[in-house]
């Protein structure tokens, strides 16, 4: 009904059937029948309309069988069966529809983050224009906080650019003359003048949008077994019912045949298993978007991971402190005081570490300065301090011993960034910052491999960082310095070899790969809305160790669904034979029919108690 949503209709009709049963118990037949009639009308209206619409299209659908069965049940006075059949079919339709909501919303989320405006320089004057109107060779000026509207080359300026939306690199990258920049990246601080080299649909960001759209379009919904079965089942049952009447002249027998054959258990066999599996996953912080995705997840044999924010935490953190001539806390305190006035993400990581240690940063700074691309400096207690990179130390003539230089190189070989602090011309320490590997990542990969999965890593980070993370986690195969379209290409190469691939990611840059994979998996807690909406499975609790569980749960759910389908078909076949040989009559047939529905539901409920076999390395 138009005035009710499908969910409201399911709830209302189910409630009315329960009320009718209460009235029947107290022998209030008139009231019971009234509630059953109204329930049948409410639940059946969308089914009836769809059935007649298919008839006009010359298609014999399962909705038509349900419609005939309901009319037949009314004709022989089985009002409860008519209401129950309508309700069960409506419930199955509702459960399926719920899984298909928002399938296209990820595209809107991506579009919302596309650059809209551009500041161009013509004849020495600045003009604001729409990003789509930027032409090749235009000179663009980008200031702090602005999005870069086109792919291009830096011709002037010095700034840090956040390219996380494009490459997945967690830390802003310094850009100077002749460096390349991408559309959709955000300038953190400073300014840049760039010459546009790719505009409009040719930009990197536009290609990301196109890849997501294409990948979603190729994910055509596969026909369910019930729909395929109904192509033959529905017309066969109608024909057989007519033949039964022709040969027996027994209208009650033919209608009983039709009503008994109505696929009550068959209709709910798949949805009830899927709902139970999804319910189990929800308790564990896992969102599986429907039955189709459940079936696909059960068949995966390759799991591809993004690195930043997926295998790693996605947040720069202090991982090592090397103090020289003072304690570690003293080094952190002084460094954090200087960085407290900086907007650089490395500085924020140091301040966060100081706060975690309970170090107070209430000391006044004097002569604070930001040295573009190098670091910061200030005076504390009449002592001149600098915090930054090698270049800043070199400018201030701070010497680094061979021993200390070797330590710094070792840290960088681990994929870490070394932030150095000096007082005057004396080095006082090194603070190493890294995007830390998730503590559960190694065990997760181990479990996936133990369950027969091939595990690879696809990342936009550099080779050194990728190698370090892969070795630490236990991944033998990885690909570094990949742009989003290159990740997609890697996945397509695997798929062309017959592999069923799952892609695990968290950011906007991951969405093309997530959408291209057979099953996209998003880290929900740290992931972007775009990745979560594009994904087929979302780890809502942001706990990676739930990934093996989710895949094993998908296997168990798929197996349970097949069991229900087989059982439901077997029951229908036996009941039909029983009716024809007059071993099954209306009363006994109704009882067996409803019992089969109950058994299907009870079998599906077992999924709610499915436990974490994956922790023991047991495939489910």
Catalytic center residues: 306
Q: Residue 200, Cβ neighbours under 10 Å: how many? A: 15
Q: Is residue 143 helix, strand or coil?
A: strand
Strand order in the sheet with 375-380: 312-323, 426-437, 417-423, 383-388, 375-380, 366-371
In Å, what is the CA distance from 586 to each residue of 89, 248, 589?
Answer: 21, 16, 5
Q: CA distances (Å), 172 to each of 117, 175, 186, 418, 426, in order?
A: 22, 9, 9, 15, 28
Residue 221 neighbours by CB under 8 Å, 6+ apart = 100, 292
- The tokens for 298 are 């059960």
Partners of 147 in beta bridges = 186
CB 163 within 8 A of CB 187: no
Burial 272-308 (b: 16+ CB within 10 A, else e): bbbbbbbebbeebbbbbbbbbbbbbbbebebbbbbbb
CA torsion, ordered 564, 519, 550, 509, to nearest 10 deg? -160
Instruction: Indicate the angle between helix axes 291-298 and 264-283, nearest 10 degrees.
Output: 70
SS (H, E, C) 504-542: EECCHHHHHHHHHCCEEEEECCCCCHHHHHHCCEEECCC
Residue partners of 480: CB distance under 8 A and separation at least 6: 459, 460, 461, 462, 463, 465, 466, 467
Cα gap 596→584, rounded to integer Å = 14
Q: How far apart are CA 338 and CA 325, in angstroms?
A: 19
Are the C-beta atoms of residues 536 and 288 closer than 8 Å to each other? yes
SS3 at position 592? helix
| 8-state DSSP, 438 | P
- Classified as helix, coil or strand, 18 is helix
Q: What is the largest CA-CA distance in the chain?
A: 110
* Tokens describing residue 96: 């399926």
**Residues whose CB falls within 8 Å of the CB of residue 591, separated by 6 or more in sequence, listed in order:** none
Q: Are 441 and 311 in contact (CB under 8 A)?
A: yes
Other CB atoms within 10 Å distance of the CB of residue 541: 15
Query: Within 10 Å of residue 22's Cβ, how many Cβ atoms?
Result: 12
- Tell me how far apart the alpha carbons of residues 24 and 9 are, in angstroms, rounded to a whole number: 22
What 3-state DSSP class applies to 191? strand
Burial 81-106 (b: 16+ CB within 10 A, else e): bbbbbbbbbbbbbbbbeebeeebeeb
CB 456 within 8 A of CB 479: yes
Cβ atoms 291, 274 nearer than 8 A: yes
């Amino acid at each position: 009904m138009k005035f009710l949503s499908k969910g409201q209709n399911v709830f209302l009709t189910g409630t009315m059937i329960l009320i009718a049963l209460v009235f029947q118990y107290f022998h209030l037949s008139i009231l019971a029948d009234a509630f059953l009639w109204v329930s049948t009308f409410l639940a059946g209206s969308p089914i009836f309309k769809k059935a007649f619409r298919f008839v006009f299209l010359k298609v014999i659908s399962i909705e038509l069988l349900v419609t005939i069965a309901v009319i037949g049940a009314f004709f022989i006075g089985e009002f409860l069966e008519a209401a129950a059949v309508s309700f069960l079919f409506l419930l199955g339709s509702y459960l399926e529809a719920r899984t298909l909501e928002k399938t296209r919303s990820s595209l809107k989320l991506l579009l919302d983050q596309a650059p809209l405006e551009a500041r161009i320089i013509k004849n020495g004057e600045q003009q604001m224009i729409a990003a789509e109107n930027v032409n090749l060779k235009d000179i663009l000026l980008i200031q702090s906080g602005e999005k870069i509207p086109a792919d291009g080359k830096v011709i002037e300026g010095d700034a840090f650019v956040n390219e996380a939306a494009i490459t997945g690199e967690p830390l802003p990258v310094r850009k100077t003359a002749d460096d390349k920049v991408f559309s959709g990246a955000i300038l953190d601080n400073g300014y840049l003048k760039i010459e546009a080299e790719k505009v409009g649909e040719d930009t990197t960001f536009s290609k990301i949008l196109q890849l997501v759209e294409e990948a979603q379009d190729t994910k055509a919904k596969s026909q369910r077994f019930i729909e395929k079965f109904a192509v033959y089942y529905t017309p066969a049952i109608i024909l057989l019912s007519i033949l039964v009447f022709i040969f027996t002249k027994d209208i009650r027998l033919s209608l009983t045949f039709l009503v008994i054959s109505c696929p009550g258990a068959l209709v709910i066999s798949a949805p009830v298993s899927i709902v139970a599996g999804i319910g189990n996953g929800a308790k564990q912080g896992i969102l599986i978007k429907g039955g189709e995705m459940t079936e696909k997840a059960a068949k995966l044999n390759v799991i591809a991971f993004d690195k930043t924010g997926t295998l790693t935490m996605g947040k720069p953190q202090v991982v090592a402190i090397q103090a020289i001539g003072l304690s570690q806390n003293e080094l952190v305190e002084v460094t954090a005081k200087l960085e407290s006035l900086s907007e650089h993400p490395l500085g924020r990581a140091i301040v966060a570490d100081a706060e975690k240690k309970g170090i107070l940063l209430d000391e006044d700074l004097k002569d604070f300065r930001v040295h573009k691309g190098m670091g910061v400096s200030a005076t504390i207690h009449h002592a001149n301090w600098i915090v930054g990179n090698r270049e800043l130390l070199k400018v201030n003539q701070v010497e680094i011993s061979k021993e200390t230089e070797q330590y710094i190189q070792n840290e960088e070989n681990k994929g870490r960034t070394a932030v150095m602090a000096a007082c005057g011309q004396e080095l006082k320490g090194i603070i190493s910052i890294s995007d830390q590997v998730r503590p559960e990542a190694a065990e997760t990969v181990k479990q996936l491999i133990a369950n027969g999965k091939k595990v690879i890593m696809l990342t936009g980070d550099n080779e050194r960082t990728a190698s370090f993370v892969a070795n630490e986690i236990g991944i033998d195969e990885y690909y570094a310095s990949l742009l989003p379209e290159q990740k997609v290409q890697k996945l397509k190469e695997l798929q062309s070899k017959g592999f069923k691939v799952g892609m695990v990611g968290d950011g906007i840059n991951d969405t093309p790969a997530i959408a291209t994979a057979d099953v996209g998996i998003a880290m929900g807690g740290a992931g972007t809305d775009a990745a979560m909406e594009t994904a087929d499975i979302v780890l809502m609790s942001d706990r990676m160790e739930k990934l093996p569980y989710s895949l094993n749960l998908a296997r168990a759910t798929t197996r349970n669904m097949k069991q229900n389908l087989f059982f439901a078909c077997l029951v229908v076949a036996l009941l039909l034979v029983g009716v024809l040989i007059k071993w099954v009559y209306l009363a006994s047939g109704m009882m067996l029919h409803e019992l089969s529905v109950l058994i299907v539901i009870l079998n599906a409920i077992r999924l709610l108690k499915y436990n974490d076999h994956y922790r023991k390395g047991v495939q489910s």
